[in-house]
Amino acid sequence: MKGAVTRQEILSQPDVWEACLGGSDPGDEDMAQRILGGALDRILFVGCGSSYYLALVLAAFVRHRTGVRVLAVPAGEVWLHPELELDRGARLLAICISRSGRTSEVLLAREHLARAYGAETVALTCDPESTLAATCDHRLVVPEAQERGVVMTRSFTGMYLRLARLFAAGSLRRLPEVARVLLREQGSRFEALGTRPETHRYVFLASGGLHGFAREAALKVGEMSLAPAEAYHALEFRHGPVAAAGGGTLLALWVTEAGRTHEVRLAAEVRALGADVVVLGGVESPDVPLEGEEYALAAMPLIHLLALSRGLVAGEDPDRPRIIGHVVEL
Ligand code: F1P
């Protein structure tokens, strides 16, 4: 059946997250100390596609949790346009994110950062046997989140938790159960949102440290269904893209703690234009209740279901998206 592999991987997320959060690795303590110990000037997160969007959210998460200066860059930019704002001589930790551990741009970025900047490197990957895992100085591996599907779903969320658990294992403990409840109570609603024939435009908004989730959500819809999907920082939406909002637009917005008042008002404005609007998180009448920004990740499986159902209704096979494959090798 079309999309069966991807659907199973989407629905497995609460269990996979439990494994990701519950695992223990003797190296974790050292890695957390390495990051928290004050010996680093900068942490650089690199990746491609979903792994780049993961770099965006993890960079924000780590900055918030540790106070260390961070930078998230698409891996290709690191060696193609190496005029990064990095000081030679800076003590740099490069966290190289790749589900496969084989993506060429990421391997080249690792090499460049180690050679040109003397960076210490970390592989955040699902494949312990990969070139990336073999060539980095340290490994954060999450094989339980590996996928047969082409589209990254549980590998995105699983790799997030593999790193996040270094700093916040306790506060994220309830996340799998929250996702389980959301899937049970809202899964079919999101699938139905994906099958509405009148919807022709998908928009995802998230500001601050959550912005990467919006980018990833738009990528999921694009990959699984080929439908036009856009992502913006929340308030950017008024600066042009709102012009085309109305019936036929589905807009999902992650509410942030700092932006709440403005974001909720924006959601109401867009709804008044006739769009379907889904508010993820926040305290003022959220459509999907989340316990603050730490739990923003719990909305991802719902977005995955939306993208999957849109793909199926469009006649696509989300297990075999057109043109794209598991890995990009240059
Ligand atoms: C990254 C990636 C995926 C995308 C496609 C091709 O792979 O760009 O985000 O969905 O499957 O590969 P990786 O470096 O994380 O293995």
pLDDT for res 285: 63
- Classify each residue of 254-276 as buried b or exposed e, where b means 16 or more C-beta atoms within 10 Å of its C-beta: bbbeebeeebbebbeebeeeebb
Residue nearest to atom 11 of ligand 1 (CA): 326
| Cα separation of the two ends of the chain | 32
Residue nearest to atom 12 of ligand 1 (CA): 327
User: Would you call 67 helix, strand, or coil by DSSP?
Assistant: coil
Three-class DSSP labels, 26-54: HHHHHHHHHHHCCCCCEEEEEECCHHHHH
Please name the helix (run of DSSP H) or strand (run of DSSP E) that holds residue 71, with its range, or none: strand 70-74
> pLDDT digits over 244-291, tens only?
999 999 999 999 999 999 999 999 999 999 999 999 987 666 778 777
Dist. CA 267 → ligand 1 center (Å): 31
- What are the angstrom distances between the C-alpha of 158 and each of 20, 91, 101, 153, 301? 6, 28, 15, 9, 12
> pLDDT digits over 183-230, tens only?
999 999 999 999 999 999 999 999 999 999 999 999 999 999 999 999
- Pocket flag, ligand 1, residue 148 (CB < 6 Å): no
**What is the C-alpha separation between 118 and 305, in angstroms, rounded?**
42
**What is the C-alpha separation between 93 and 87, in angstroms, rounded?**
13
> pLDDT digits over 36-87, tens only?
888 899 999 999 999 999 999 999 999 998 889 999 999 999 999 877 767 7
Residue nearest to atom 14 of ligand 1 (CA): 98
pLDDT for res 26: 87
User: Would you call 247 helix, strand, or coil by DSSP?
Assistant: coil
Output the pTM of the full model.
0.96
- Residue 141: phi, psi to the nearest 5? -115, 140
- Pocket flag, ligand 1, residue 145 (CB < 6 Å): no
Structure tokens at 221: 């819809």
- Pocket flag, ligand 1, residue 98 (CB < 6 Å): yes
225 in Cβ contact with 306 (< 8 Å): no
> pLDDT digits over 121-163, tens only?
999 999 999 999 999 999 999 999 999 999 999 999 999 999 9
**What is the C-alpha separation between 63 and 296, in angstroms, rounded?**
17
175 in Cβ contact with 224 (< 8 Å): no
**What is the C-alpha separation between 159 and 141, in angstroms, rounded?**
8
Between 325 and 157, the higher pLDDT residue: 157
Dist. CA 284 → ligand 1 center (Å): 36
**What is 98-158 written as a DSSP string?**
ESSS--HHHHHHHHHHHHHH--EEEEEES-TTSHHHHHSSEEEE-GGG--SSSS-SHHHHH
Pocket probe for ligand 1: among 100, 125, 157, the residue whose CB has the most ligand atoms within 8 Å is: 100
Residue keyed to tokens 């439908």: 227
Instruction: Assess whether pLDDT exceeds 90 at residue 292.
Output: no
Helix axes 154-168, 26-36, angle to 10 degrees: 70
**What is the C-alpha separation between 314 and 311, in angstroms, rounded?**
5
Residue nearest to atom 2 of ligand 1 (CA): 49
- Pocket flag, ligand 1, residue 152 (CB < 6 Å): yes
Ligand 1, residue 150: give the atom nearest the CA: 11
pLDDT band at 34; cut points 50, 70, 90: confident
